[in-house]
Amino acid sequence: MSNEISRRSFLKTGTAAAIGLAATPSMFAKEPVAKKKKVAPSDKLNIIGVGVGGRGSADLKAMESQNIIALADVDWKYADPVFQRYPDAKRYNDYRVCFDEMLNQADAVMVATADHTHAIVAATALVAGKHVYCEKPLTHTVYESRLLTKLAAKYQVATQMGNQGSSGEGVKQTCEWIWNGEIGEVTKVEAFTDRPIWPQGLERPADMAVPSTMQWDNFIGPAEPRPYNEIYTPWNFRGWWDFGTGALGDMACHILHPVFKALKLGYPTKVQGSSTLLLSESCPNAQIVKLTYPARENLPKVAMPEVEVWWYDGGLKPARPAGLPAGVDMNVQGGCVIFHGTKDTLICGCYGVKPFLLSGRTPKAPEVLRKITESHQMDWVRACKEDAATRVKTASDFSEAGPFNEMVVMGVLAVRLQSLNRELEWDGEKMEFTNIPADATIRSVIHDGFTINEGHPTFQKTYTEPVNARAFAQELIKHTYKNGYALPEMPE
């Protein structure tokens, strides 16, 4: 059952309702919200998958005990194995047409598109009263994270970000050890990943013809239009500023979650970033970010003082902690976190796995957090079937995943604004930097060229035109959506 409709023909022939779903603010203002159908625990959810050829395939596989009723993906070649796995699901290459035809039949939506379209797809589903599972990073910007957090609260639906480690025993144990005072007060955390393993540090590639199986305009979505090249997608979108968030967005959502949760972080007050060559098109090959968080309310057994959180990627790592046995590889499943406490040091791997104390002790802390016995995806399915008033939240419900994702994309901001050569002060409530001079400008490298004459290198970098730094920062915090796309208004 194929419903392949190009974006161009859709915009010409689609119904007014479909266009409203796709792009206009008036759609999001409609009240009341679509009535939520009660689903008994023994019944199956009707789920729509948007972005199914990559990570979405694994998410749907974990949910396939439910009813997968529709699938939308811009790349039908990449998505074909998933289409074949669910032959009864209707197929689309434009999620907007899919939603127009199928959203009223769905209970829930799984979103695993490129980073820059997470927010628009998820927001549309939330406003329609649908439960949402959204892959990490939750959004491309701080504003989008705040928006999804508030929309999920307003419409009282079950949500989950796809950082599956948050449902694991390691994150639970790390939090309980820290909350029990086992390592004392934490004033510094260091974390790293072995990513990127996709291309980064690249200039804009040459134009290529769009494959017949790809709806390129639909992939671009609300971003600035550009010609197709095969290096952008699938998967490699992570390394391009317009579509992804680099190693931070991909892996910090897994690695830093126990940091955010255990230390009960909120908004940072200061951020600073540095990296290898910063290009205008793609993320750098390696970067370091420092985020400073103010003191939080003390817990019964441990204080929560100001803390610095350091992030490293691209092969960069913090110094090995004193006392860590020689030969121990801190990189576990793609990364590591080091909690430096006043009494002990706690180290865990990516996803919070295999936590241990440098002292060698194995604490017996009281169990505080819920033990999750189902998969990350199926725990979300469980939550979808519970009444909003009594629902047990998932481990990465948007009430936590949204503020946490703000932490992640703040790191992206720090890197992209590094040429200001200052530690940036952040007002989290207002979502704005407070110490960027009004007349400051910023630029980045388009082309990195050099020549060598008699052994002497002459650098010939081509830069973007200088732009006002405040305006540039604001665009990174809250994107201007293009091509007819629009987000709903921010709830009060």
Say if residue 113 is in the same domain as residue 190: no
Distance (Å, whole) CA 151 – CA 489 = 9
Say if residue 178 is in the same domain as residue 134: no
* Residue 486: burial class (beta carbons within 10 Å; 0-12, 13-18, 19+): middle
Band of the pLDDT at 194, cuts 50, 70, 90?
A: very high
Say if residue 256 is in the same domain as residue 198: yes
Residue at 383 is within a domain = yes
- Per the structure, the count of domains in the chain is 2
Give the model confidence (pLDDT) of 37-96 as tens digits.
667 666 999 999 999 999 999 999 999 999 999 999 999 999 999 999 999 999 999 999
pLDDT on residue 216: 98
Last residue of one domain, picked from the residues 327, 357, 387: 357
Say if residue 260 is in the same domain as residue 114: no
**Cβ–Cβ < 8 Å for 386, 199:** no
pLDDT, greater one: 39 or 472: 472
Band of the pLDDT at 257, cuts 50, 70, 90?
A: very high
pLDDT on residue 17: 35
Last residue of one domain, picked from the residues 295, 328, 357: 357
Say if residue 6 is in the same domain as residue 54: yes
Distance (Å, whole) CA 392 – CA 375 = 15
Look at residue 145 and tell me whether its pLDDT is greater than 70: yes
Paired strand residues for 132: 109, 159
Say if residue 294 is in the same domain as residue 178: yes
pLDDT on residue 10: 35
Band of the pLDDT at 324, cuts 50, 70, 90?
A: very high
Helix runs in 71-168, H state only: 76-85, 95-102, 118-127, 142-155
Residue at 135 is within a domain = yes
Distance (Å, whole) CA 24 – CA 400 = 28
Tokens 């990350």 identify what position?
Answer: 376
Residue at 352 is within a domain = yes
Distance (Å, whole) CA 307 – CA 92 = 47
Say if residue 105 is in the same domain as residue 68: yes
The rounded percent of the chain whose pLDDT value lies above 90 is: 88
pLDDT, greater one: 297 or 14: 297
Give the model confidence (pLDDT) of 150-161 as tens digits.
999 999 999 999
Question: Mean pLDDT over residues 190-209, rounded?
Answer: 96
Say if residue 173 is in the same domain as residue 107: no
pTM of the model: 0.92
* Residue 460: burial class (beta carbons within 10 Å; 0-12, 13-18, 19+): exposed
User: Strand order of the sheet with strand 307-313?
Assistant: 356-357, 345-349, 335-341, 186-193, 307-313, 287-293, 270-275, 424-427, 432-433
Residue at 491 is within a domain = no
Mean pLDDT, rounded, of the chain: 92
Distance (Å, whole) CA 445 – CA 466 = 11
Residue at 350 is within a domain = yes
Domain with residue 93: its CATH number is 3.40.50.720
Residue at 226 is within a domain = no
Residue at 330 is within a domain = yes
Residue at 41 is within a domain = yes
**Cβ–Cβ < 8 Å for 363, 182:** yes
pLDDT on residue 451: 85
pLDDT on residue 31: 40
For residue 220, the surrounding DSSP H or E stretch is: helix 216-220
Look at residue 380 and tell me whether its pLDDT is greater than 80: yes
Q: Which of 29-33, 167-171, 346-350 has the lowest mean pLDDT?
A: 29-33
Look at residue 24 and tell me whether its pLDDT is greater than 50: no
Say if residue 67 is in the same domain as residue 113: yes
Say if residue 181 is in the same domain as residue 122: no
Distance (Å, whole) CA 487 – CA 480 = 10
Give the phi and the psi of residue 144 in degrees, each rounded to 5: -65, -40
The DSSP code sequence of 185-207 is -EEEEEEEE----S--S-PPPPP
Nearest CA to 409 out of 188, 116, 199, 36 is that of 116
Say if residue 324 is in the same domain as residue 297: yes
Say if residue 394 is in the same domain as residue 320: no
Domain of residue 65 covers 2-166+375-398
pLDDT on residue 36: 56
- What tokens were used for 141? 């910007």
Give the model confidence (pLDDT) of 334-363 as tens digits.
999 999 999 999 999 999 999 999 999 999
pLDDT on residue 382: 98
Give the model confidence (pLDDT) of 403-413 as tens digits.
999 999 999 99
